Amino acid sequence: MTKPNILTVDDDPQVSAAVARDLRSRYGPEFRILRASSGAEALDVLDKLALRDQAVALIAADQRMPRMTGIELLERARPQAPGAKFLLLTAYADTDVAIRAINDIGLDYYLLKPWDPPAQRLYPVVDDLLDDWRRANPDHTSDLRVVGARWSDRSHEIKTFLARNYVPYRWYNIERDAEASRLRDLAGAAPEDMPIVLLPDGAVLKSPSTLELASALGLRTRAEQPLYDVCIVGGGPAGLAAAVYAASEGLSTVIVEREAPGGQAGQSAAIENYLGFPKGLSGSDLTQRAMAQVSRFGAEVVLANDVVGFESRGQVRAVLFGSKDIEARALIIATGVSYRRLEAEGMEALSGRGVYYGANASEASQCEGDDVYVVGAANSAGQAALNLARFAKRVVLVVRSGTLEATMSHYLIQRITSSPAIEVRYRSEVVAVHGDGHLESVTIADRDTGGTEEVPSSWLYIFIGASPRTSWLGDDVVRDERGFVVTGHDLLNPGYPPRWPLTRAPFALETSVPGVFAAGDVRLDSMKRVASAVGEGAMSVYLVHRYLGTV
């Protein structure tokens, strides 16, 4: 198999030789390192690679070249190398230009010259860029295969589980692909067995549950220890941050996650206001980086298990999974929130069949050329609309209020209102959905006039409200009327039942049960931002240490 390519572009022969040497010494076994001495020569190289269907993983270009700057080259290179990562080599005086290029041409990173020593200043940057490229361009030779129907809610559930757990797969539509019918027959599957999953080792799973699928893939679905220092329920940003800090500080740590790591943030196509990432990063990227840290420090992650109850057993806190449980000396609740159900006629029958709550970033391509409707006015809805607009013919954002300013970040509003592919329908709401087996049309009502309009569409994505996942906590953990967990000094508010049992005041993130903490979106009056969830996850571990020092 031909190696993917890394192209370096610099008109200074010494600099060109140096960067090629440094890249070859580290990446030569996996990538072919190519050199060009000008923008024109680089474009000619890219043309030849495109004709040969040879992948380009990275283009590293000097900014100050005669006749064509590095930014001009990278902008022109995008059609020939659409998936390549762009690295600009520049002087300090050009940093303003480089920062603008992040938005203008999708520059991934700029690096100040000189980059000596490369082990500290070059390789960490290139390592990150190439890791991102590998994730976007996996080796498909050992992929599992999924055979199902396009509008099957079970097929959608399995594909979503695989995508969110970063398991590469190939999808075969039984209604359109001849190969799908052949695979179904080879597997001996009947129509009622669909969808089926064919594993690389030849095993066949017929309409598996997510727990069965996780077990077959070798994902951990059971805890290994009888007692932990801390159990974290929920694998979103707050839970992952808590796990990193807890495990790195020597606490035996387990995370329990019912779906996949990352939470709602993990499905985001872009998180652009997270500190330290000027280009932004996807929720998938953030989650994979966090999971690598979690694994590095030795925390366990138990997947595909839905917590159904909670008990205090003396000084031990237990979370229940039906017939199983996990015991820990302290518990951190980081279950986040789920999207609130839309009250509209026909929703139940079409859920998972064109009507979806939330959207994984990888799903956007299935809407290519279609009209897509998105309900919601917060950042999650805005990011989804922008991601879907990359493929859809038109994206219509349906908003109940008359403005986006109160609920969406300014940078997102600017991008949405300037996109020719996105239309915003203010003072509107979806009141009904229609279809035979899958979504075919949506009825939208004008909140001012009361008039309605039925529009054709096969895609409706819903991002409304926030419903915390806390029913499993029972009566001992105080929550507000919407289910958000009450913590810290709010527990002493006379508006809540007097449940705090100790003479000391509760710690800042502590719930009404000593030793049980809440972090992130599940907590009452949390900020509902990724950065604040990460901060609360880290803070909760500090408070766990304080609690464990008192018992």
323, pLDDT greater than 80: no
Do 235 and 308 fall into the same domain? yes
**Which residues 6+ apart lie within 8 Å of 405 measured at CB?**
413
In a domain, 286, yes or no: yes
166, pLDDT greater than 90: no
Facing residues of 396 across strands? 373, 423
pLDDT band at 103 (very low <50, low <70, confident <90, very high): confident
Do 131 and 187 fall into the same domain? no
Please report the pLDDT score of residue 141 as a whole number: 60
Q: What is the dihedral angle through the alpha carbons of 541, 542, 547, 549, rounded to the nearest 10 degrees?
A: 120
Whose tokens are 């080796």? That residue is 139
pLDDT tens track for 192-246: 999 999 998 889 999 999 999 999 999 999 999 999 999 999 999 999 999 999 9
Whose tokens are 């929130």? That residue is 337
Q: What percentage of the chain reaches a pLDDT higher than 70?
A: 99
Do 51 and 196 fall into the same domain? no
In a domain, 221, yes or no: no
Contact 240, 261 (CB under 8 A): yes
Do 402 and 449 fall into the same domain? yes
Tokens representing 380 are 């999650």
The chain-wide mean pLDDT, for the chain, equals: 93
pLDDT tens track for 493-535: 888 888 899 999 999 999 999 999 999 999 999 998 899 999 9
1, pLDDT greater than 60: no
Q: What is the CATH number of the domain that holds 434?
A: 3.50.50.60
Do 173 and 96 fall into the same domain? no
Extract the runs of DSSP E, i.e. beta strands, from 481-544.
516-518
Domain end residue (candidates: 412, 443, 462): 462
In a domain, 19, yes or no: yes
pLDDT band at 140 (very low <50, low <70, confident <90, very high): low
Q: Which residue range forms the structural domain that includes residue 385? A: 347-462
CA 331 to chain centre: 25
Contact 522, 337 (CB under 8 A): yes
Please report the pLDDT score of residue 142 as a whole number: 62
2, pLDDT greater than 90: no
543, pLDDT greater than 70: yes
pLDDT tens track for 369-392: 999 999 999 999 999 999 999 999
Alpha helices in 389-467 (DSSP H): 410-418
Do 425 and 542 fall into the same domain? no
**Total domains in the fold of the chain:** 4
Please report the pLDDT score of residue 435 as a whole number: 97
11, pLDDT greater than 90: yes
pLDDT band at 300 (very low <50, low <70, confident <90, very high): very high
Do 42 and 124 fall into the same domain? yes
pLDDT tens track for 249-272: 999 999 999 989 998 888 888 888
How far is the C-alpha of 280 from the C-alpha of 5, rounded, in Å? 25
360, pLDDT greater than 90: no
Domain end residue (candidates: 184, 216, 248): 216
93, pLDDT greater than 80: no
Alpha helices in 298-358 (DSSP H): 347-350
331, pLDDT greater than 90: yes
Please report the pLDDT score of residue 362 as a whole number: 78
Domain end residue (candidates: 185, 216, 247): 216
pLDDT band at 94 (very low <50, low <70, confident <90, very high): confident
How far is the C-alpha of 385 from the C-alpha of 398, rounded, in Å? 10
- Residue (of 63, 62, 71, 72) closest to 14 by Cα position: 62
Q: What is the CATH number of the domain that holds 154?
A: 3.40.30.10
Do 397 and 450 fall into the same domain? yes
pLDDT band at 57 (very low <50, low <70, confident <90, very high): very high
How far is the C-alpha of 476 from the C-alpha of 312, rounded, in Å? 9
Do 85 and 114 fall into the same domain? yes
Handedness of CA 325, 326, 327, 331 (dihedral sign): negative
Give 25's DSSP letter. Answer: H
